[in-house]
A and B are shown apart, each in its own frame.
Chain A
Amino acid sequence: MQVPTMAEFLAKGETPEVLFWVGCAGSFDQRAQKITKAFVTILEKVGIKYGILGKEEMCTGDPARRAGNEFMFQMMAYQNIQILNGYNIKKIVTACPHCFNIFKNEYPVLGGNYEVIHHATFLQQLIDSGKINMKDGGAFKGKKITYHDSCYLGRANDIYEAPRSVLEAMDVALVEMKRCKSNGLCCGAGGAQMFKEEEKGDVRINIERSNEALATGASIIAAACPFCNTMLTDGVKNNEKEDEVQVLDIAELVASCLS
């Protein structure tokens, strides 16, 4: 499969419907790459004309800004906006809530105005419009699945229902954790915590959250953020439950229901 880049579209004098912003995790992290591949598979299957930036994509500056390094954030934002505006990008879809949040809320004031959509909402729209058909309710029909809210999707941007309705479209048995939706507990990765050791305390945040997810008895923990995915996967491993419980992105779930 050939993943088309914006440069190739430009060379052909064409414009894709949407830019798929892969994000650093989706590009480099081995676990998150699987999410990226699953999402691309869906895009191909549905026949959406999409492009990626490929080597031209850069960190949005999210971890730098939240660590307090505004200079680095502004540098990255400046460069990204130059590239995005250079390609005359109108619509961006991304599987990373952090990239989504920063494009949607923080780039406009810097001159980067795009229609930004997180893949949870994007998948929901594809399902609602009938473009995605999960055969017989899908491979996960009746399976006990719990959904972990990403802070940057949920509280930060009020997106709670889209990922859940994607799961419901697969006819799964959705079970909620005690702390869910606006009460959801962070996985521990936000605010640049992903890139440093936690401060000392009684327990790691990802362990606390994973335990809560495991306590639901679900066999799949669904996430919609590559960082949450990593944190929860580590937490499940810490509990030595990785053989019984999988942590999967909603795109991976949808992709395996297609075909």
Chain B
Amino acid sequence: MQYIQQVAFLLLATYAIWLFSKNILQIKKNIFLGRPEDLSDNANLRWKNVILLALGQKKMFRNPTVAIMHLIIYAGFIIINVEVLEIILDGILGTHRLFFEPLGNLYNFLINFFEVLAVGVIAVCIIFLYRRNIMKLKRFMSKDLNGWPKSDANYILVTEIILMSLFLTMNAADSAIQLKGNEHYHATGSFIFSGMLVPFFDSISVSQLILMERSCWWLHIIGIFAFLNYLPYSKHLHIILAFPNAYYARLKPMGEVKNMVNVQNEVKYMMEPELAPTGDAQPTTFGAKDVMDLSWKSLLDAYSCTECGRCSTACPANQTGKLLSPRKIMMDTRDRLEAVGLNIKQNGEFKDNGKKLLNDYITVEELRACTTCNACVQECPVSINPLDIIMELRRSLIMEDSNAPQEWNGMFGNIENNFAPWKLSPDDRDAWTKEI
């Protein structure tokens, strides 16, 4: 019997990890459909960002109450993984509470600590469900989240509550079995929170308790493997990608727009034709129409987004009722990238299906509303830069499609002819000096 359990566990674990790796590699492949951008400089500062922004969740603390609640779930999840390590080893080796004997008193301390965290996670998940579904906070009520994204968030919270409840029930059943005596179950005694459940299990027979304990153990680990494989389809992927995204975060001042070297050179050759290289110029496109035209970092950004909406809450356009929502920009980019990835997988190479990120996912009206104020960039807890995507799409609109509002065309014309965005004579530029 024990032997069958071990084999079953090994098969399950192998399959779960294989499937997860496969999906993660697909995501990696999708991300590298983006244009190359060298972000390998300044390793020290980048590691500092990983520590501060990803591990330390520095930006979350712009709102301390939510930050502390989020930290409880996060710490619960990370630290309880030590317990998952024991569960996995027990599963493979057919042991029970493998760490109990080597760790001694420390073991009880650890399990008690995990239980405190588990109860904390359950409590915060309930508060978060309340915030999302009953309190109806504005950023969670946005139409950005209609459909799957809203369910996704709730599934995550409910799953976490279930996993933590299974962990506590398992411990309670274990303690109850010990009271009734069973040699396989170590005398750990009861734990801080699950101990409260033990009296309720008084009337249950040992065999039923063992069934209960085993069921909880299996459901818990199956749940964890299932959750692991849910990540690639979910906004919850941020628990992994927040780390690389912090590492590759832009280090330049937010005000700096990326230079377009191809345009810079074209202007230079126009002004100084003697510098121009001979031969036919390579055809290039300007800006981005689709995800493949964006930097790979923008695509990593899209997968790292956890749809919290802090960006859109800070966005002046969004807050004044314009169509633009930086969160939607990120969600659209991920959706389109997933579609492109699937397209390539099915056809061997990308087959044009008549759709593009620009216009089919993100509309001109959204792009036009951006004031480039960087509030979205400032707010993002996982170092996403929606403005990079907006800028690249705007460039394509203007330089590829000559699609500009009338007033902008006028402004361009004025800059070209009068060297100022207004239709005023360059001769009057210093007129003010005569009025002092």
Residue numbers of A with Cβ under 8 A of B are 1-3, 5, 22, 24, 26-29, 33, 36-37, 40-41, 52, 54-55, 57-59, 61, 63-72, 74-76, 78, 101, 104-106, 109-110, 151-152, 155-158, 182-186, 188-205, 208-209
Contact = CB atoms under 8 A, between A and B. Distances in A.
A148 B432 CA distance: 26
B398 A24 contact: no
A190 B315 CA distance: 13
A155 B421 contact: no
B281 to A, nearest CB: 15
Interface in B409-429: 410-412, 415-416, 419-422, 424, 426-429
A78 B322 contact: no
Among A37, A40, A158, A182, max chain B CB count under 10 A is at A182
A205 B432 contact: no
9 contacts: A2-B433, A33-B432, A37-B435, A65-B257, A151-B375, A155-B254, A155-B373, A156-B255, A201-B320
A184 B435 CA distance: 35
B308 interface: no
Given A69-B404, A106-B257, A110-B264, 4 more contacts: A24-B420, A24-B421, A28-B420, A192-B408
B374 A155 contact: yes
Given A55-B427, A105-B256, A67 B398 contact: yes
Contact of B407 (A1, A196, A204): A196
A191 B372 contact: yes
A191 B370 contact: yes
Contacts, number: 212
Contact of B369 (A63, A105, A189, A198): A198
A27 B411 contact: no
Nearest to A182: B378
B146 to A, nearest CB: 19
Contacts of A195: 407-408, 410-411, 421
B429 A55 contact: yes
A3 B287 contact: no
A64 B373 contact: no
Contacts of A208: 316, 319-320
B368 interface: yes
B365 interface: yes
Given A3-B436, A58-B419, A202-B321, A193 B371 contact: yes
A205 B421 contact: no
A229 to B, nearest CB: 15
